[in-house]
Each structure stands twice: as C-alpha cells, then as structure tokens.
Structure 1
Amino acid sequence: MTTVHRSTKPAALDLPVRLPPAPRIPRLAQALGFSLSRQWTVEQIARRYGDAFTMTLPVFGPTVMITEPTLAKQVFMANTDDVGNIQPNLSRVLGSGSVFALDGMDHRRRRKLLTPPFHGKSIKNYETIFEEETLREAANWPDGQPFETLEPMMRITLNVILRAVFGADGAQLDELRRIIPPWVTLGSRLSVLPTPQRTYGRFSPWGRLATYRRQYDEVIGRLIDAVQADPAFDTRDDVLALLLRSTYEDGSSMSRQDIGDELLTLLAAGHETTAATLGWVFERISRHPDVLAKLAAEADTDDNDYRQAVILEVQRARTIIDFAGRHVYAPTFELGEWVVPQGYSIVVAIREVHHRSQDFPDPQRFDPQRFVGQRPPTLSHIPFGGGTRRCVGAAFANVEMDVVLRTVLRHFTIETTAAAGEKMHSRGVAYTPADGGRVVMRRRR
C-alpha cells in the first residue's frame, strides 16, 4: 500500500468555522438532484447563492461548491498537506496505484515520472500517429450520409493512446480494444455512485467491472513481459518502456501493479474526454457556418491559430468534466471569507466558472473569436483542472485534437445544419453530445 507523505510544518490554525450558505432544500433532494442532473442542480443553486455555497452530496458528503476563479485559485494553489485529493476519487475504479490515488509527496514523485512522455519533443513524435489513426478510421465513414462522430472519435483516441503507450500494434492490443471501451463506459458511470461492500456477483455492475479488470491485468502482464524481453528495451520510447525504466530519486521503481493501474488511468483518461471534446467540435462547427468556413480555409495552410481558438471555445462552452474536487486535511482551511473544516470536500464547479459573464461576455454564445490572438485567463478556463493535479496529458490531448481536426478538414467537407444544438448527455464522469455529434461529411475530390 502506498504511504502518503505528510509535511512536518506547523499545523494550520484551528479557526472558527464559517461555511458558505446552504440551499434550503432537503439533503435527500440535493442528493437526488446532483445524482440525476448535477449540472442543472449546481446551476440553479449558483444563481441564487453566488460564488460559494454548501451542499451535502452523495459519495462526497458535506461539500463547499465554488464557482469563482479567485476561490478556485486558492484551492488549486493550496499546500497539499492542507488540501489534498478529493475522497473518494477515481482510484476506486482505476486502482490504488493510479496517480488519482496519491497525495502529497507520493503524487509529486509519480507526476515527475509521468510528465516526460506527454510534453515537448515526445508529443511531436506522436503527430504522425494522430494523423494515421484519423485516416484509418475515416476510410469507413459514409459519404453524404449523417453519422455519429463520437464513436469514431473514441476509436481514434483509444488507438492513439494505445500506440503511444505500447509503441506497437498486435493481438494483445486488439484484446485491449475489446476490454477498454466497455470498461470505461461502465467505470465512468459507477465512479459517481457509492461503492458497495461487495460486488454481488459477476452479473452486477461492480462484478462486471472486476471481470474486465482481471482480463486487463492478464493482458498487461503479458505486454510487460514482452517489452522487458525486447532486445531494444533500452532505446524504446513508448510510455510503457519509459515507466519500466524509470526510477524515483531513491532508486526505487514502480511495481507491476502500480504500472498496470497507471496505464489503465492513461488509457481511460487519455481517450474518453478527448473524444468527447472532438464530438462536440463537430457538433458545434456544423451549426456555425462562419466558424466552419474559417476552419476549412486554415486547414489548407500550416496555421492553426483559429483551430486552437475553436478547441478552446468548445472546451469552455461544452465543458466535458464539470468539476474538480479536493479534500480538507487541515483542521480548517481559509477560502476567501469562509473557513472550511477538516473532512469537508471543496468542489470547483468548472462549468459555472466557464460561463461567468465577467470573464466571457455573452457566455451562452459560441464564439471562438474570443480566443483568437490571446490565451484564455488561466483560472477562468480550466478544462483540465488546475494546480498540482492538473491533467498530466493536457498538452498531448490538445495537440491530438488539433491534428485530428486538421486531418478531417483536409479530407472532408462538413455540411452545415440549422438543427438545434444537441443536449448534454452524462456518461457519468464526462459529458458528451446526446445524439453523438451527428454530421454529414463529403470526401474532398
């Protein structure tokens, strides 16, 4: 079991508790509303109570919800001994060796190992993979007929992360292509529900999840053996080889179980959210002819300024992951004018942050122009979270989305539509287009 390192600095002051206001709604009603439609529930309460309010949530218990960037910055920048990872977290599904399970020094050490493959020159090396997988998937798209883009994007992003992680293709990766999609769909839904004391057999959701995990562990064990036996092991640049060769400052290395958990985290987090964003990109641009025309013209050049602006605006307007949470470990934590006690969760409502009219005038309007020639405000645009727990694969995902969109625009003409925008659909953790991001494309001659 991983030991969480804590600082020996003096303990935080035990200040008088001062919580934000709580809605006058029975706790059961709050829990039901959050479980059934958390975005709508949070939006309604935020309209009345403003930047901070207190709720009692299923799974997370007593929680302070915040919707304001300055408060979010306090949470993200807080000492990790005072405010750590939300409890419980995705490690319930991904495993105790996942970066989601770690806190404090253990978390910082693990991130240091994971960062190199997803930044700088490493990402540049993956661009060919992004384009190859897009063209391979697009070969089967119907010409002139409506189809859902979400599932093809899921396959593209899964194949991309599989090749980046394992460095090659083969029968064992075909096994992972069979296991990972249903595991991600089921795990995403179960991650926002309380964990039962037992799985209740192989026909229950938790039992099926455990079965997928056993199958995954068997495949990963064979892949680790194959990589370690490779004569070129010392020069391989795939993520698995890098993790197997990596050591911490004290010379120790990750266990096989930790590597399996971490790879599962990369495979799950590395494809669903990216695919969901791309699905929303196609849904949005097909309803905005002026945006689509600018994108199509730019795709035939080496520029990507407008394409990046479109991706940023989609991430803002159609927030995929709608909250980032922390857990208060200190006796009390000062949050603006409030004082939050130990044991509380603090949740940054990302969607509400993204829709503040103070930072984004007319926030309901889809307008990539707001990001042309300028980066978004750091704490007002947080699709990947913030602080020490910001998604380690953020740069990788942004380059991947850019290349996939460019490749599609270079090979297809996307038809516009006057249909109403698709509604948000919750897959548990991520939000996707309810109709799958349906578009009509025609191959460019």
Structure 2
Amino acid sequence: MTEAIALEPRTANLPPQVALPKAIQAIGFVLWRRWTIRQAARRYGDAFTLDAPVFGRTVVVADPALVKQVFMASTDDLLNIQPNLSRVLGPGSIFALDRAEHRNRRKLLHPPFHGKSIKNYEHIVEEETLREAANWPEGKEFRTLEPMMRITLNVILRAVFGAEGAELEYLRKLIPGGVKLGSRLATLPQPSRSYGRYSPWGRLAESHRKFDEIVDTLIAKAEADPRFDERTDILALMLRSRYDDGSPMSRREISDELLTLVAAGHETTASTLAWAFERMRRHPDLVAALTTEAEGDGNELRQATILEVQRARTVIDFAGRHVAAPMFELGEWRIPQGYSIVVSISRLHENSFADPDRFDPYRFVGNRPPTFAWVPFGGGTRRCIGAAFANTEMDVVLRTVLRQFTIDSTTDSGEKVHSRGVAYTPKRGGRVVLRRR
C-alpha cells in the first residue's frame, strides 16, 4: 500500500490535511468521531484528509456531489473499505467480497428482500411487538432501546430461520452479547493474535464458533424438512439459491451471511426505533397526527417520520471505500491508490437540508429526500441489502405501538448521542411514558 502511494506523489491532489498530530487525530476519530469530523469540516470544508486508525490515510467527504461520485464509482476503482465488518462477521460475509464476487452474492441474496417476500414478514413484526409490549409499564418512564432490540432480534431470527425451537432460544441469548462486543471491536485495530478465549477477540471468535454450530444444526433440520421446498424463511431461500454456474453457497458462507443479517440488521433498526420514540415524545402534535393516521391504512406521515429520524439522528455515521485504482478522480481532487474514502453520513445529513437542527418530518411528506443527500443505508452497489426490510419493520412497529398506546409528551431536552461502537443510540435509551388506549 505504501509503495503504491509513493509512486505518483506529484500527480495526487488531496483535500486539506487536518493539522493535528496523528495520535490526536486517531483518538478523536475513535472516541469522538462525529465531533472530530464536524470540527474538521467547519475548518476545512466538506472534503479533508486525516490519519484514521485502522483505515490509515483517509479522505472524508460530506458533499452530495462528491458522495454521488463515490457511490457511483466502478467497483473496480473503489472496493469496500479495508478493514471492514467482515473482521467481526466472518470471511463469508458480503462485507468481505468485492468486484464480481460481491455482485454475484448480492444477486443471490436479493430474493428474500424483494418487496413481495418482505410482505410475508409483516405479521411477524406485529406479533413480536405485541408480545413485547404486553410487559411494558404503564404511566412509568422506561427505556425503549432494549425492548426494540428484543423485538428486532426476534423478528429477524423468525424471518431467517422460520419456526421457533431450542436453537432459536439459544441464539436469543448468544447474539446480544456478541453483537455488543463486535460493535466495539469493529472500530479498533485487530491484534496479530487473539491472546486466548478470555480476550475480547478470543471471546468474539468463540461466539462466532457457537453461532456456526447452531446454524449447522438448523441447516440439517431444514434440509430434512419434508416441506423444505415450500418454506419462505431466509435460510431455506439461501439453501435453495444457486449462482449462475449452478453452484450453491457453502455452509460457511451461509452462516456468515446469516450472522451479518442478524447482527447488522437488528441493532441498527432497534437504535433507529429508540430514536423515533425519543423524538416523538418531544413533538405531541406529531404524535397526535401519527395516531390518527395509524387508525387507518395510511402511512405517509409515518414514513416521513422514519426518514426524518434517520436524517436527524443518524445511527450509522459513515460509509467507506478503499481506492484500488492507480488514481481516483473525486471532484477537483485526485486520490492515490491505497487511500480510504469515508462518506460522513452524519455530516452530510446536517448540511444538506434547510434548518437541519429542527426535527420536521413534514419536510418529507410528498417529498422524497435527494438520493445522495440522505444515505442512512449507504449507497451504490453496497447500499444495505436489508434496507426495505428494515423500513417495513420500523413502519409496522410504530403503527402497532401507536394503535395500542398513547405517548406522554415532555419538555425535557433531547437525549444526547451515545456511541455503541458502530451504532449511535440515545444516551438514556430512548425513554418514554406510555399509557394503554
């Protein structure tokens, strides 16, 4: 990588370099990434260069025109950022693949997330929301983050694996701890060795091994099911899928992809829902309008609210690429091979909309957000494959809660942002006070 960068030093044209010692840049990026990027952008503009831990020399952008170039670039010129989430999700995860391998895998994974398939999962979302809501305290403030985590985990487990059973109960206990640990480690350098099963990386590897064992058992049960060809769960669809050459996915690939769906999908969706409750509690007029809408079949305002929550309280704050071309043209800049390019999603959402600090879902009623200014799911060929699933899940959860409860309003200031490693959540857990209707 170093040699490739050194070959053409005279032809590179990089954005302004953050003028701080590398150690300070690294600490800021790891511990206070949003604040660090916001301060740098205020000084240098929406394209600058910094030294980031794990990713190395990095160009950060938050201008829609530049973001469009990054997301629309050839997959031969820009690869997935290195390293990426495959470190914690496994080498069979879609995060680990590039070029033709990545395209073929996405094509194979598309059917379970097609609109018609997602419709089959709506009743699961409603059932899990009602089951969890049965235990919520009435008239007493409580955190919504953990209940949302349980709902989204149960939904994705049922959608992925189908029927209930002892294996799913085991996964319900195994996954939350593994996801929390993996989310923390994903932003840190990986040591050359794990230092045993009691070290963080060793514990993560052990959690992954146990997940693989359960998936092997579930695969064997699925293949032995006499109704296997009629099953609509994601595991069955994956087992029946074939690449263009007729070959199936390996068991390791299936296991890593399922872990990706379960781990990456449930935490981010739950975090967004917790933010939704945190925001709605502070906007009683919006809640009244949403409640009226929920009593019918419409969802325009609810969808606009989800869009605005994702804009104003971005859960995943960046998407990254690795420059594989000898030189990548990005606006007026020329980025050498070996550099990372990071799209600051949180900064992009702040500076691409009028009055960005105002929470206003009505800005999206009858007005879809610009494609490259609103990117909570990333963009281009690496846009989150489960985006439609997550959107439907959030819509059904909010509709179900609004039909069952009223939400007490508050004049308290909004909750601050808390980093869980990969995802950003409400610092106090998205607290609400609900009353049964």
Instruction: Give the shorter-chain TM-score range.
Output: over 0.9
**Normalization by structure 2: what TM-score?**
0.97
Give the distance between the partners of 1:144 and 1:175, measured in 2 at CA. 33
Alignment correspondent of 2:208: 213
Deviation, structure 1 residue 14: 10
Deviation, structure 1 residue 53: 0.2
**Which among 358, 379, 386 is matched to residue 365 of structure 1?**
358
1:382 aligns with 2:385: no
CA RMSD, 1 decimal:
1.0
Alignment of 1:20-419 (within 5 A): 20-356=15-351, 359-419=352-412
Count of residues in Structure 1 that have an aligned counterpart in Structure 2? 430
Which amino acid letter does the alignment assign opposite residue 368 of structure 1? P
Give the distance between the partners of 2:196 and 2:78, measured in 1 at CA. 37
Any idea what the Cα deviations from partners look like across 1:301-342, whole Å, max 9, x if unmatched?
A: 111000001000000000000000000001000000000000
Give the distance between the partners of 1:187 and 1:68, measured in 2 at CA. 30
**Normalization by structure 1: what TM-score?**
0.96
Deviation, structure 1 residue 217: 1.1
Any idea what the Cα deviations from partners look like across 1:236-275, whole Å, max 9, x if unmatched?
A: 1111011111110011111000100000000011100000
Secondary structure of residue in 2 paired with 1:270: helix
Provide runs of 4+ in structure 1 moved above 6 Å.
Answer: none
Give the distance between the partners of 2:114 and 2:143, measured in 1 at CA. 31
Alignment correspondent of 1:10: none
**Which among 419, 431, 435 is matched to residue 424 of structure 2?**
431
Give the distance between the partners of 2:80 and 2:9, measured in 1 at CA. 21
Which amino acid letter does the alignment assign opposite residue 406 of structure 1? R
Give the distance between the partners of 1:276 and 1:315, measured in 2 at CA. 10
Call closer, same or farther: CA 1:164–1:15 in 2, change over 3 Å.
farther
Deviation, structure 1 residue 119: 1.8
Deviation, structure 1 residue 15: 8.4
Any idea what the Cα deviations from partners look like across 1:358-389, whole Å, max 9, x if unmatched?
A: x3111001011100111111100000000000
The answer (yes or no) to whether the contact 1:14–1:331 under 8 Å persists in 2 is no
Give the distance between the partners of 2:78 and 2:31, measured in 1 at CA. 28
Any idea what the Cα deviations from partners look like across 1:58-110, whole Å, max 9, x if unmatched?
A: 00000000010110110111010111100000000000000000000100000
Q: Which runs of 5+ in 2 are unaligned?
A: 1-7
Give the distance between the partners of 1:392 and 1:311, measured in 2 at CA. 18
Q: Which runs of 5+ in 1 are unaligned?
A: 1-12
Deviation, structure 1 residue 166: 0.7
Give the distance between the partners of 2:395 and 2:114, measured in 1 at CA. 15
**Which among 420, 433, 440 is matched to residue 413 of structure 2?**
420
Give percent identity, aligned residues only: 69
